[in-house]
């Protein structure tokens, strides 16, 4: 799409009138809830229809991150804020460095809390954001635009492609309505919104679901999960300390006091603690073994010992 994007968007799927909600202002609260529940079922189908593209995104992103690349989410308004939310959850959930998964929101930090939708109209600002973040051929850039026309996102994707990054587009309109040049094109077709044009609804829900799957799937591929346990959890508060201790207790059969001693001996690193226990290693030896296997716990454990299968 060129830099001069047409402002008329009434033909887009995300802007159309939903016949199921034409009497929305006449519904009772319970009827409103039921209508939302009915319409939200379409988000599940939208994800299912895009399963291959989402899986490909997981595959290529994990590959780039293994080689030192970064993942960037780029968007404006609701779409951009969803990217910020997903990026912000990665460090505490998977103990990733803050630079590994980043969000670029049109309008910057101020736009996170205050509506700044006008900033999305600049193709050049999107391109400049990619340059200022030093995006290169090692990185992955996911552009998020529900209606598919956001100039800021188009500019970012165009510049990212120029820099050699893998580009992914996530939108909620059919390809025949809007073309988005990208290596992977994810279309989440949730249909017209209950409140016409309000893409924070079904489109936002489906986008959040897709981002959940992508980031979690990538971290699974990077070895930050053992079974379905969050073994790379960052122990930074009482809730996460309790989660770390429960993981150790569940997987080792140790009592809470024993698990606590082991966790602190590992410098609050769950994967290191498990290696120390299962392979009778010191913290330094366990850390070294993990480094040999790029932090992948299962591969490190299978080095010369087969631990119990997680329940």
In which residue ranges of the chain is CATH 3.40.50.10490 found?
A: 13-221
The residue-averaged pLDDT of 141-153 equals 96
Rounded CA gap, 230 and 222, in Å? 12
How much is the average pLDDT of 291-302? Answer: 90
- The reported pLDDT for the residue numbered 87 is 97
Tell me the pLDDT tens digit for each residue of 197-251: 999 999 999 999 999 999 999 999 999 999 999 999 989 999 999 999 999 999 9
pLDDT score for 1: 43
Does pLDDT of 5 surpass 60?
no
pLDDT at 58 over 60: yes
Question: Class for domain 238-301, per CATH?
Answer: mainly alpha
State yes or no: pLDDT of 284 exceeds 80: yes
Window from 108-112, 153-157, 201-205, 253-257 with minimum mean pLDDT: 108-112
3-state secondary structure 172-213: CCCCCCCCCCCCEEEECCCCCCCCCCCCCCHHHHHHHHHHHH
pLDDT for residue 110: 77
Residue 15's pLDDT band (boundaries 50, 70, 90)?
confident
State mean pLDDT over 276-296: 94
Average pLDDT for 145-162: 96
| Mean per-residue pLDDT over the chain, rounded | 92
Mean pLDDT, to the nearest integer, of 121-131?
A: 94
What percent of the chain is predicted at pLDDT more than 70?
Answer: 92
Can you give the pTM of this predicted structure? Answer: 0.89
Class of the CATH domain delimited by 13-221: alpha beta
Least confident range of 129-138, 183-192, 287-296: 287-296
Q: What residues act catalytically?
A: 89, 120
């Amino acid at each position: 799409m060129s830099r001069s994007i047409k402002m008329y968007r009434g033909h887009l799927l995300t802007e159309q009138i939903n016949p199921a909600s034409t009497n929305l202002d006449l519904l009772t609260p319970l009827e409103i809830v039921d209508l939302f529940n009915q319409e939200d079922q379409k988000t599940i189908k939208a994800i299912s229809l895009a399963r291959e593209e989402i899986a490909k995104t997981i595959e290529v992103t994990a590959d780039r991150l293994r080689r030192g690349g970064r993942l960037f989410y780029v968007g404006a308004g609701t779409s951009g804020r969803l990217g910020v939310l997903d990026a912000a959850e990665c460090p505490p959930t998977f103990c990733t460095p803050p630079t590994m998964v980043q969000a670029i929101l049109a309008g910057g930090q101020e736009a996170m809390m205050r509506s700044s939708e006008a900033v999305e109209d600049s193709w050049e600002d999107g391109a400049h954001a990619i340059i200022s973040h030093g995006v290169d051929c090692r990185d992955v850039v996911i552009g998020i635009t529900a209606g598919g026309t956001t100039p800021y996102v188009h500019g970012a994707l165009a510049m990212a492609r120029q820099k050699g990054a893998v580009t992914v587009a996530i939108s909620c309109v059919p390809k025949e309505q809007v073309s988005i040049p990208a290596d992977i094109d994810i279309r989440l077709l949730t249909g017209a919104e209950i409140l016409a044009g309000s893409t924070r609804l079904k489109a936002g829900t489906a986008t959040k679901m897709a981002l959940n799957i992508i980031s979690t799937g990538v971290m699974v591929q990077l070895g930050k999960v053992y079974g379905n346990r969050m073994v790379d959890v960052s122990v930074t508060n009482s809730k996460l300390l309790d989660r770390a201790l429960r993981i150790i207790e569940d997987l080792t059969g140790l009592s809470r006091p024993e698990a606590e001693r082991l966790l602190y001996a590992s410098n609050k690193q769950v994967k290191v603690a498990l290696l120390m226990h299962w392979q009778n290693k010191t913290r330094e030896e366990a850390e070294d073994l993990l480094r040999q296997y790029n932090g992948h716990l299962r591969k490190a454990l299978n080095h010369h010992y087969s631990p119990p299968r997680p329940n």
